[in-house]
Amino acid sequence: MTLWLHTPRNPNAPLAGLKVLELARVLAGPWAGQILADLGADVIKIESPEGDGTRQWGPPWVERFGADGTVHKEAAYYHACNRGKRSVVADFGDATDLERVRTLAREADVLIENFKTGGLAKFSLDYASLREANPALVYCSITGFGQTGPRAHEAGYDFVIQGMSGFMSVTGEPGSVPVKMGVSISDLTTGIYAANAIQAALIQRGRTGKGQQVDMSLLDCSVALLANQATYHLTTGENPPRMGNAHAQVAPYGVFPVRDGHVILAPANDRLFTKLAKVLNRPDLAADPRFASNGGRVENAGLLDAEIAKATSTWTKEGLIEACNAHGVPAGPINKLDEVFADPQVLARGMRVDLGGMPGVRSPFTFSDAELALDRPSPMLGEDTPSSKD
């Protein structure tokens, strides 16, 4: 008997009916799987008898009742990246369990795995083994360094990749210690890129009838995300400096003090700078030849920022942001998370979801003629494992 759902979770979801087998743990692979699950795919997550390691990555912890009434205590971290999936426990050392996983793979549209390069070959769950029985399979491998290259067989970890990729060289205050991002940006970026690549491969399969292996690397994805910082180096041969909250090519652009905290001001052209000067009752700044053009403002950024800080320090946060918004000047607060999830815009967009008593954040897709499949929380360990081994 197949374990795949016979009917879509939500027939009006974009990926309704798509069968995804997830042999992934921790973050990058599960993040890609959750995106596909939110889009309507039936995602079966294969877990070892011990479960995905993030189930133990607490505190904070979440408690909920199982079908038998017992209380399950799991880390909130796990629930951040496993919504909408089903959990099947499989011990790869058990022949029956392993054959069940192979059967699921033969029936799947997509397989996501993040084992070390070549690590699934001994179980005949690598792409070369599975494509013979399932030539339409889109097989997504997520590793630290990819399937090729001198480091292909090394494990990759988000923090290390942030340093290797150049992220940390451009993050932090000038002259200070390099700083990592406040989230696991290399893992998350790879998950997002992977979900995009999987769907591209599915579109190609629609034309050719053939699946393929998608090779995703944390290092590749992190280097790709350098964007303008990469072109800065590639066109000049120089390393871009750490700028803290400032911008290397635009001024003023940063965090400025107010009576009750700080605000972000980002007037990114001459017109907006003139409007900001008017809001701050400092029209003399816009008339000053040193600040008349963006180039001049960047050259004299230290002086200009000091003058703007003097002006903003007399305002309240709410007052300055409202005045800037009224004049079309880009400005905003630096919210803590309680403020984020109380923000009227975030509330209006329905970014928070509550499923089975579990709070979470939905994937940020909104369609005119489709819906997300937000119908179930993250699964309890093994809740979808067949009761017998036949």
Which residues are marked as active site? 187
Q: What is the largest CA-CA distance in the chain?
A: 82
Contact 25, 52 (CB under 8 A): yes
- What residues are paired with 22 via a beta bridge? 45, 112
Residue with structure tokens 């305002």?
315
Instruction: State how far the Cα of 304 lies from the Cα of 286, in Å rounded to an integer.
Output: 10
Cβ-in-10-Å burial (0-12, 13-18, 19+) of 320 comes to buried
Q: Which of 206, 44, 211, 18 is nearest to 132 (CA)?
A: 211
- The first and second tokens of residue 364, run together, are 């940020």
Contact 130, 158 (CB under 8 A): no
Q: Which long-range contacts (CB under 8 A, 24 or more apart) does 11-14 make?
A: 12/370, 12/371, 13/39, 13/40, 13/370, 13/371, 13/372, 13/373, 14/39, 14/40, 14/367, 14/370
- What residues are paired with 138 via a beta bridge? 110, 212
β-strands 212-217, 110-113 pairing: unpaired
Ranges of H-type helices in 39-87: 76-79
Element (H, E) at 18: none
Q: Which of 210, 321, 225, 327 is nearest to 272 (CA)?
A: 327
Instruction: State how far the Cα of 28 lies from the Cα of 266, in Å rounded to an integer.
Output: 32
